[in-house]
Structures are given as structure tokens and as C-alpha cells.
Amino acid sequence: MNDSLCTSKIAVALVHAPVLNRQGERTTTALTTIDIHDFARSCAFYGVAPVYLVHPAAGMHRLVADIRDYWQHGAGAARNPGRAKVLQAVRMVHALQDVFSDADYQLWYTSATPAGRRMTDVPALGQMPGRHLIVFGTGSGLDVSALPRPNGWLSPITGDGMVRHLSVRAALAIYLDRLFRDRG
Amino acid sequence: MNDSLCTSKIAVALVHAPVLNRQGERTTTALTTIDIHDFARSCAFYGVAPVYLVHPAAGMHRLVADIRDYWQHGAGAARNPGRAKVLQAVRMVHALQDVFSDADYQLWYTSATPAGRRMTDVPALGQMPGRHLIVFGTGSGLDVSALPRPNGWLSPITGDGMVRHLSVRAALAIYLDRLFRDRG
């Protein structure tokens, strides 16, 4: 494993618990397999690592291990060798707090509806010292009452109002593009 | 069906044939169901319509009709009524040329590796008169030798080089963000 591929100034986390359901109650979501691939691939495209997948259930950790094994050693490795390389950046953790054993990250939370919070535009992260973790929630968003206090919140992506939010896959892609577009 | 939801100055097409396989030969790809939802949702978020899905096979048209029916009339309609509205913008066509029966579109092709072609940055489309169709390919990209001559090619999204291209879902999200971010 080439470690230089697997850390960068910016890292990403996708949180499955604690998040909110549509009623605003605390819940845990299942891992969506396409998110594993799209998060790993979009992050690899922009040189962002690690990609933390936060899930408390051991079964979900085993699922990701199985998927990774298929692409590293199974039939997938022959068919699409690039995918194993991309998946190297994925790290499973049980809780968001576990990321601090890797680095002293500054946490940046994202929300489609961050009412009343002071916002930071994502390109500003590129100018700040230190290591930064951009945190996405599944379900109806992060349950901040049960998560560490973040360094700040990133400005939401705004649309036409017909739908409240993008898929988390689309939101990640847009934030990374905004972050790296002008680095030249 | 509210027609104002279903047309805009910019429309999008996702082509499954004719596209190229990894060997550079002409092929047809299967429809990926997550693409239907992510394309419909990202386009609805930015007020872009229609979303054309180009596939020659009648079975794939029936698949999309079934999915739409589930969200409009089935159990999905009760669980997530917003999804039916979003899917209204999806139009199935058998070939890319069929879009011209809806409007006199200017075609803009996309490619992760558009070597040797003159490029247009996607925000420029917002300033141009007429109606514009942004065309994405599946597989290893559009087989332009068997498609109408486009009005032009859009500048590719560039990354760090570790992976050649983003998922088509991520690419769509980034193009739409670039197109609409500065419209104020």
C-alpha cells in the first residue's frame, strides 16, 4: 500500500450514525454500496484521502471488507484493476471520533439546510493550515447533538428549490470541484 | 404534469448507445438504476429538464416505466412523494436524434479525454441563445462516429491523474454546479 496515495491535507467522512431520519429523530442508516465506490472514486480523482466511512455495525465493516477483497483479489481485480487502487483510501471507523487517532483533523460539517450557522466557503479550506475533514451525513443529515463540536460548517450548495438537496454523491463531487478547481 | 417543470433552456442526455467499450469498440451499456435517480435529482435541483435517457432496447424503456410507476402510484409514492415529481423530467428515447422532435437543441458533447478538440467552458452555455443539450456517455464514452455532429465539446473536468474519470453521476453534478453557481 502506497501511503502517499492515502493521506492528503483534505480528507472526507461519510457518517451513517448518528444521523437524523425524516422525523428528525436519531437513527442509523445502512451503507449504500454505490456511495463506497463514488466516494472512493471522486476522492481519488482529486487526490483526497482517506475516505472514512463511519458505521457502528460490524456487519457493515465486513461488507466493505468483502467488496474490497473482490476488487483486490477476486474477479474484479482482473476486470478493473484501477478499482482496487481507488478503494485503498477507504477506512472504516465505528464512530466519527475514531478519525482523531489518524490525525488532528479540523472538522467541517455539511448540511443542505444549515439554518442560523456561520458558514465557510469550501475553497477557503485550501488556504488554511492543518488537516481538514469534510463530513457528510446520510439520512436527513448529521445529528450534531451527538457529534463532536466542529471547527465550522461549509456553505451549502443551493439550487432552484424544487428538491431540498442533492444526493450525497453529487454533493461530494461539487465540494471537491469547488475546492480544487482553481488550484492551477 | 406541470410542463413548466419539464423544459428549461438547458437539458441533459445520458447515452447508452452508441458508446465505446474499453477496447474502443462500439457497444450498448445497460441502464444503471442509480443513474436514473441521480440524474433526475441533480437536474431537478438546478431546474434542468428534460433528462433524456437514450437506450435502444424496449426492455430498458419498460424498466424505467416500472420505476416511475412505483414512485408515482406504488408504495414509493406514499413513502417519498417528491421522487415522482423529480422523475417527471425523465424522457426515454431510442436514439439521441429523437430529442430533435422536442426542440431544436444545440448539442454539447462531454468526454473525459477530448484530445485535440476545441473546448467550450460550460458556464458559456448560459450566455448563448437557444436551447442546449449536454450529452454524457456511459461505458468508455460516446461513439461520436455514429452520433450527430455536435455544436461543440465541453471542457473536461480535470483531476490529479490517479483515475481517468469521475462517475457520470459526479460529472453531471459538477457541470451543473459550474453552469448555475454564478447566475446570482
Residues A25-45 pLDDT 10s: 999 999 999 999 999 999 999
Which residues from chain B sit within 8 angstroms of residue A162, using beta carbons?
5, 44-45, 47, 85-86
Give yes or no for a cis peptide into A50 (omega within 30° of 0): yes
Phi, psi (5° rounding) for residue B62? -65, -40
Please tell me the distance in Å from A5's CA to the nearest CA on chain B: 9
Distance between CA B113 and CA B157 in Å, rounded? 9
Q: Which one of A166, A172, A175, A182 would you mutate to disrupt binding with B, by most B Cβ within 10 Å of its Cβ? A: A166
- Which residue in chain A is spatially nearest to B182 when comparing CA positions? A158
Q: Do B167 and A47 touch (CB under 8 A)?
A: no
- Which residue in chain B is spatially nearest to A180 when comparing CA positions? B159
Contact assessment for residue A133 and residue A97, using Cβ atoms and an 8 Å cutoff: no
| pLDDT above 50: residue B184 | no
Range of the domain at A129: 3-183
Nearest to B2 by CA among B61, B47, B60: B47
Distance between CA A83 and CA A74 in Å, rounded? 12
Q: Do A159 and B45 touch (CB under 8 A)?
A: yes
Mean pLDDT of B42-59: 97
Which residues from chain A sit within 8 angstroms of residue B167, using beta carbons?
37-38, 41-42, 169
What is the value of ipTM here, to two decimals? 0.93
* Residue B82 confidence class, pLDDT cut points 50, 70, 90: confident
| pLDDT above 70: residue A152 | yes
Alpha helix (H) ranges present in chain B?
33-46, 58-72, 75-79, 81-87, 168-180
* Residue A184 confidence class, pLDDT cut points 50, 70, 90: very low
Q: Do B37 and A167 touch (CB under 8 A)?
A: yes
Residues in chain B: 184
* Residue B7 confidence class, pLDDT cut points 50, 70, 90: confident
Which pLDDT value is given to residue B28? 98
| pLDDT above 70: residue B77 | yes
Which pLDDT value is given to residue A183? 60
Q: What is the mean pLDDT of chain A?
A: 92
Which pLDDT value is given to residue B137? 98
Assigned C-alpha cell, B85? 415529481
CA distance to A14, A33, A112, B48, per residue, from A153 (Å)? 15, 26, 11, 28
CA distance to A15, A93, B116, per residue, from B25 (Å)? 40, 42, 20
Which residues from chain B sit within 8 angstroms of residue A178, using beta carbons?
177
Which residues from chain A sit within 8 angstroms of residue B5, using beta carbons?
162
Query: pTM value?
Result: 0.94
Which pLDDT value is given to residue B5? 44
Provide the domain count of chain B. 1
User: What secondary structure letter does DSSP report for A166?
Assistant: -
CA distance to A65, A140, B26, per residue, from A17 (Å)? 19, 11, 44
Distance between CA A56 and CA B60 in Å, rounded? 38
* Single-letter amino acid code for the residue at B37: H
Q: Do A163 and B34 touch (CB under 8 A)?
A: no
* Residue A156 confidence class, pLDDT cut points 50, 70, 90: very high
Assigned C-alpha cell, A102? 489518524
Contact assessment for residue A94 and residue A58, using Cβ atoms and an 8 Å cutoff: no
Of A86, A174, A180, the CB nearest to B173: A174
- % of chain A with per-residue pLDDT over 90: 80
| Residue B162 or B100, more confident | B100
Contact assessment for residue A26 and residue A120, using Cβ atoms and an 8 Å cutoff: no
CATH number at residue B151: 3.40.1280.10
Give yes or no for a cis peptide into B18 (omega within 30° of 0): yes
Q: What is the mean pLDDT of chain B?
A: 92
